[in-house]
Structure 1
Amino acid sequence: MKSAKFLFTIISIMTIFLLAACGNNTDEKAEKPKDQGNKTEDTSYTIEHAMGSTTLDKTPQKVVVLSNEGTEALLALGVKPVGAVQSWLGDPWYDHIKDDMQGVEVVGTESEVNLEKIASLKPDLIIGTKMRQEAVYDQLSAIAPTVFSETLRGDWKENFTLYAKALNLEEKGNEVLSQFDAHVEDVKQKLGDKVNQEVSVVRFMAGKSRIYYTDSFSGVIFNQLGFKRTQPQAELFAADNKLGNLAIEVGKEVIPKMDGDVLFYFTYAPNGDQAALDTAKEWTNDPLWKNLNAVKTGNVHEVSDAIWNTAGGVLAANLMLDDIENIFLKQTK
Structure 2
Amino acid sequence: MTSTHRPLLPASRRAAQVLAAVGAAALLVTGCGSDNGSDDKGSESASQGAGGGQTREIKDATGKLVKVPAQPKRIVTLTQEDLDAVLALGLKPVGITNGQGLSKPPAYLEDKVKDIKVVGNLLQPVMDKVIAAKPDLILAGDMQDEQVLKQLREITPATLVTMAPADDWKLSFRGIGNALNSMDKANKVIADYEAKAKKAGGELGDNKGAEVSIVRWNPDGPSWMEKKQFASGVALDMGLKRPKAQDKDGNAHTPALSLEKINEIDGDWLFLSTLTSDGEKALKDVQSKPAYKDLNAVKKDHAVTVNGSVWSTRGGPLASQVVIDDIVKALKK
What's the TM-score bracket when you normalise by the shorter of the two chains? 0.7 to 0.9
Q: Which residue number in structure 2 is paired with residue 142 of structure 1?
A: 154
How far does residue 61 in structure 1 lie from its aligned partner after superposition?
0.3
TM-score, scaled relative to structure 1: 0.77
Aligned match of 2:268 in 256, 261, 279? 261
Distance 1:97 1:139, change over 3 A: same
How far does residue 230 in structure 1 lie from its aligned partner after superposition?
2.2
Distance 1:107 1:152, change over 3 A: farther
How far does residue 321 in structure 1 lie from its aligned partner after superposition?
0.5
Which residue identity lines up with residue 104 of structure 1 in the other structure? I
Provide the aligned C-alpha RMSD in A.
Answer: 2.4
How far does residue 106 in structure 1 lie from its aligned partner after superposition?
1.2
The yes-or-no answer on 1:171 pairing with 2:177 is no
How far does residue 39 in structure 1 lie from its aligned partner after superposition?
6.4
Aligned match of 1:327 in 321, 325, 330? 330
Distance (whole Å) between structure 2 residues aligned to residue 38 and residue 260 of structure 1: 48
How far does residue 54 in structure 1 lie from its aligned partner after superposition?
0.9
Distance (whole Å) between structure 1 residues aligned to residue 290 and residue 166 of structure 2: 32
Q: Which residue number in structure 1 is paired with residue 169 of structure 2?
A: 156
Query: Any idea what the Cα deviations from partners look like across 1:1-57, whole Å, max 9, x if unmatched?
Result: xxxxxxxxxxxxxxxxxxxxxxxxxxxxxxxxxxxx786695432221223121124
Distance (whole Å) between structure 1 residues aligned to residue 119 and residue 159 of structure 2: 15
Distance (whole Å) between structure 2 residues aligned to residue 323 and residue 108 of structure 1: 29
1:12-31 to 2 correspondence within 5 Å?
A: none
Query: Any idea what the Cα deviations from partners look like across 1:116-163, whole Å, max 9, x if unmatched?
Result: 221222211000123554542222122110111233687111111111
How far does residue 290 in structure 1 lie from its aligned partner after superposition?
0.6
Distance 1:118 1:224, change over 3 A: same
> Relative to total residues, which structure has the larger helix share, 1 or 2?
1
Aligned match of 1:248 in 250, 254, 258? 254
Which range moves more in the overlay, 146-155 or 249-258?
146-155
Distance (whole Å) between structure 1 residues aligned to residue 100 and residue 204 of structure 2: 31
Which residue identity lines up with residue 261 of structure 1 in the other structure? D
**DSSP 3-state at the match of 2:161:** strand
Q: What residue ranges of structure 1 are gaps of 5+ in the alignment?
A: 1-36, 239-243
Distance 1:85 1:124, change over 3 A: same
Asked if the contact 1:87/1:311 (under 8 Å) is kept, the reply is no
Which residue identity lines up with residue 118 of structure 1 in the other structure? V
Distance 1:245 1:121, change over 3 A: closer
How far does residue 310 in structure 1 lie from its aligned partner after superposition?
3.9
How far does residue 166 in structure 1 lie from its aligned partner after superposition?
1.0
Query: Any idea what the Cα deviations from partners look like across 1:63-109, whole Å, max 9, x if unmatched?
Result: 00111111011111111111111123665222222221122111112
1:282-297 to 2 correspondence within 5 Å?
A: 282-297=285-300
**DSSP 3-state at the match of 2:203:** helix
Distance 1:57 1:94, change over 3 A: closer
Distance 1:304 1:107, change over 3 A: same
Distance (whole Å) between structure 1 residues aligned to residue 140 and residue 71 of structure 2: 17
**DSSP 3-state at the match of 1:232:** helix
The yes-or-no answer on 1:312 pairing with 2:319 is no
The yes-or-no answer on 1:205 pairing with 2:218 is yes
Distance (whole Å) between structure 2 residues aligned to residue 112 and residue 102 of structure 1: 20
Distance (whole Å) between structure 2 residues aligned to residue 196 and residue 262 of structure 1: 11
Q: Which residue number in structure 1 is paired with residue 232 of structure 2?
A: 219
Aligned match of 2:77 in 65, 76, 84? 65
Q: Percent identity?
A: 30
TM-score, scaled relative to structure 2: 0.77
**DSSP 3-state at the match of 2:312:** helix
Which residue identity lines up with residue 85 of structure 1 in the other structure? T
Aligned match of 1:180 in 188, 193, 207? 193
Q: Which has the higher contact order (CA 8 A, sep 6+)?
A: 2
The number of equivalent residue pairs is 283
Which range moves more in the overlay, 85-94 or 198-207?
85-94
Asked if the contact 2:229/2:314 (under 8 Å) is kept, the reply is no
Distance (whole Å) between structure 2 residues aligned to residue 112 and residue 131 of structure 1: 9
Which range moves more in the overlay, 42-51 or 215-224?
42-51
Which range moves more in the overlay, 146-155 or 310-319?
146-155
Which range moves more in the overlay, 71-80 or 154-163?
154-163
Which residue identity lines up with residue 313 of structure 1 in the other structure? G
Distance (whole Å) between structure 1 residues aligned to residue 237 and residue 167 of structure 2: 12
Distance (whole Å) between structure 1 residues aligned to residue 38 and residue 307 of structure 2: 45
**DSSP 3-state at the match of 2:236:** helix
Asked if the contact 2:199/2:238 (under 8 Å) is kept, the reply is no
Distance (whole Å) between structure 2 residues aligned to residue 229 and residue 316 of structure 1: 20
Q: Which residue number in structure 1 is paired with residue 104 of structure 2?
A: 92
Asked if the contact 1:154/1:216 (under 8 Å) is kept, the reply is no
Distance (whole Å) between structure 2 residues aligned to residue 247 and residue 104 of structure 1: 32
Distance (whole Å) between structure 1 residues aligned to residue 38 and residue 253 of structure 2: 47
Distance 1:288 1:135, change over 3 A: farther
Distance (whole Å) between structure 2 residues aligned to residue 38 and residue 291 of structure 1: 58
